[in-house]
Amino acid sequence: MTRPTMESGASSPLLLGLVLLSLFSVGTVSAQQKFGINYGQIANNLPDPTQVASLLRSMNVNRVKLYDADPKVLTAFANTGVEFIISVGNENLQTMATSPGAARQWVAQHVQPFIPATRITGIIVGNEVLGNNDTAMAASLVPAMQAVYDALAALGLSGRVTVSSAHSVNVLASSFPPSSGAFQEGVAQYVRPLLDFHSKTGSPFLINAYPFFAYKGSPASVSLPYVLFQPNAGVRDGGLVYDNMLYAQIDAVYAAMKAMGHTDIGVRVSETGWPSKGDEDEVGATAQNAAAYNGNLMQRIAMGQGTPLKPSVPIDVFVFALFNENMKPGPASERNYGLFYPNGSPVYAINAGTAGSGDGGGSSVGRFDPYSSQSMFSAASRLVAVRRRLSSLTLLLVLPVLSALLAC
C-alpha cells in the first residue's frame, strides 16, 4: 500500500480525518487510557477482532481482558501495544492441577506464539471458582495456578506475565463495614494457600464486584447515589468515610486478607459494570444508571483516585463489558452490560466528567456519545462524531493548519 504523502491531493481528506481523530482522541478521551475492559464473546453477531482493535485504539483503551485465549483476537491486536489478560477456563483446572504437562502445553499454545507482538501481561486461571460448592475444583485452583506459573517460568516469562484468578465478591462472609471484611469460613482453607501464592509471585487478588446486585436486591435500603458514585452523605467506618459501595467492597477484601496475615497483596477489580436494560423485576437496570455508574467510575480512574483505606494506590478496574452479548443465559441484564452494540455504536452516552457533581458539571475527561444508528466501524461516522465533539476553540486553532494541509 502506498503511504499517503503531502503531495497527494487524493489523500488530503484521509489526512484530514486522521488529524481530527487524533485531536479528538488525545484531547477528550483521557479517562479511557487508565481503565481496562472485558471483551466477552458469548454472541453470534460480534464484529471481526480486527474491527474491534480499531475501535479500542480510537478510544485509547490499552488494557483488555479475555475470558479465553482466542488466537484470532490475539493476532488482531499484534503490534498495537494493547495489554491483554487471557484466561484458562474452569474446565481445565483439575487437569492442570494433576498434570503440569497440560499447563505447559496450554502456555505453549496460547501464550508463547503471540509474545512479544501481542502484549500478554496476565493469565487468569479460573473464574469465580471459590464459593460455588465444587470442592474438587476449589482444591485444584492453586495447584493449577502454580502449574501455569511454572510453565511460564520455564520459558522465562514469569517476570512478564502474572498469574491470578478472579473471584466473586461473595467469597466474603462480611463486607460491611469494610474493616470487618472476612472470607467465608467454607473457602478459608483454599484462600490461605492462594494468598501465599500471590505473595510469593507478586500477583494481585482479583474480584468481580457489582454494586448493581446489591441495589437490585434491596432498592429500598441501598442508596442509589451511593452505588452510582453520585453525591451522598456517605457511610463512616471508624475514621474513614465511604461515598460509594465499590470502594467499600475493595477495602473489605484488603481487610479480609489482613485478617489472614497478608498486607502485601494488591486488589484489582477484574469485573464491574451496570446493565442498560433488564427484566421488569431488575430494579435499576437502565441506560441512565449505566451511564452514571460507568461515567463516574471513569472519572475517578482518570483522577488516579484510591480508596479510603489505600488513598495512595489508584484503583485498578476492568469494566464489564465491551459489547452487549446476545447469547448469554440468565436474566435480560446479562445480555445488556455492553458499552457498545455489536455494530460499534455506543449503547448510551458516557460523560466521564460528572463524578461528584450533582448538576452534571465538572471537568470533561472523556465522553462516549451514540450518534443515531451509525456504526463506529464506519470511517465516515467516526469523522462525524469527531467533528461534533471538537470545541469551537479547538476548531479555531486547527482550521488554519487544516486549510494549509488541504491546499497542498
What is the DSSP track for 118-178?
Answer: SEEEEEEEEES-TTSS-HHHHHHHHHHHHHHHHHHHHTT-TTTSEEEEEEEGGGEEE-SSG
Provide the greatest CA pair distance for the chain: 72
pLDDT (tens digit, 9 = 90+) per residue, 295-344? Answer: 999 999 999 999 999 999 999 999 999 999 999 999 999 999 999 999 99
Q: How far is it, in rounded angstroms, from Cα 355 to Cα 297?
A: 7
User: Which of 288, 268, 267, 269 minimizes the C-alpha distance to 277?
Assistant: 288
Which of 163-167, 224-228, 363-367 has the weakest average pLDDT? 363-367
Angle, CA 252 vertex, CA 247 and CA 256 arms, to 5°:
155
Cell triple for 246: 465499590
Given a cut of 90, whether residue 359 has pLDDT beyond it is no
Q: How far apart (Å, rounded) are the C-alpha atoms in residues 329 and 129? A: 19
Question: Taking 70 as the threshold, does the pLDDT of residue 392 lie above it?
Answer: no
Element (H, E) at 182: strand 182-183
- Using CA atoms of 145, 147, 152, 158 in order, give the dihedral in degrees to the nearest 10: 50
To 10 degrees, the CA torsion angle through 92, 98, 104, 110? Answer: 0
Cα separation, 340 vs 330, whole angstroms: 20
Q: Determine the number of helices (DSSP H) and then strands (DSSP E) in the chain.
A: 13, 14
- Catalytic one of 7, 83, 91, 128: 128
Q: How far lies 53's CA from each of 78, 251, 295, in Å?
A: 9, 34, 22
Amino acid sitting at position 356: G
Beta strands per DSSP E along 193-341: 205-208, 235-237, 240-242, 267-272, 317-319
- Residues 134-161: pLDDT tens digits? 999 999 999 999 999 999 999 999 999 9
Q: How many CA atoms lie within 13 A of 30 on its CB side?
A: 12
SS3 assignment, position 233: coil
pLDDT tens-digit profile of 33-92? 458 999 999 999 999 999 999 999 888 889 999 999 999 999 999 999 999 999 999 999
pLDDT: is 350 or 8 the higher one?
350
Look at the chain and count its residues: 408
pTM (2 d.p.): 0.81
Annotated active-site residue 271? The verdict is yes
128 assigned to active site: yes
- In tens, the pLDDT along 279-301 reads 999 999 999 999 999 999 999 99
Q: Report the pLDDT value the prediction gives residue 144, as an integer from 0 to 100.
A: 98
Compute the mean pLDDT over every residue in the chain, rounded to the nearest whole number. 83
The residue from 271, 282, 325, 334 that is catalytic is 271
pLDDT of residue 133: 87
- List residues bridging with 269 in a β-sheet: 207, 317
